[in-house]
Structure 1
Amino acid sequence: MNAGAGERPDDLLPRTVARAALAIGLAAHDVWLDDESAAMSDLLDASMHALGLHFEV
């Protein structure tokens, strides 16, 4: 987390971001297991992008 944000590692926001990142990694890994020809970096990028789009207003 950004040190200027005033968040401690055990506060809600850093924990939430960390869990979202973990979920993205796990989802990308599941897809990769089904299609090993897919590049993990592309899957991670697409997953992160999709999550960001979901939260756009």
Structure 2
Amino acid sequence: MKRRTTIHQWRDWLLDHVGDDEYELIQKDNHKVIQTITAKSAMDAENECRKIIKGVKEGAKSP
């Protein structure tokens, strides 16, 4: 069984460490996993998630 640990929390998002070099970006309101990320460290995963979140927010703003 994988052990989940929350690494970082933004207003509407969670970054969870799920095992070895695997992380999941989760929307807090519906607990939906948006993306699974492979990264060497929590900081690398956090930086990748910031890019994904920015892309989702920009996509939501455009018609």
TM-score bucket of the superposed structures, by smaller chain:
0.3 to 0.5
More helix by share: 1
TM-score using structure 1 length: 0.41
Normalising by structure 2, report the TM-score.
Answer: 0.37
Higher normalized strand content (fraction of residues): 2
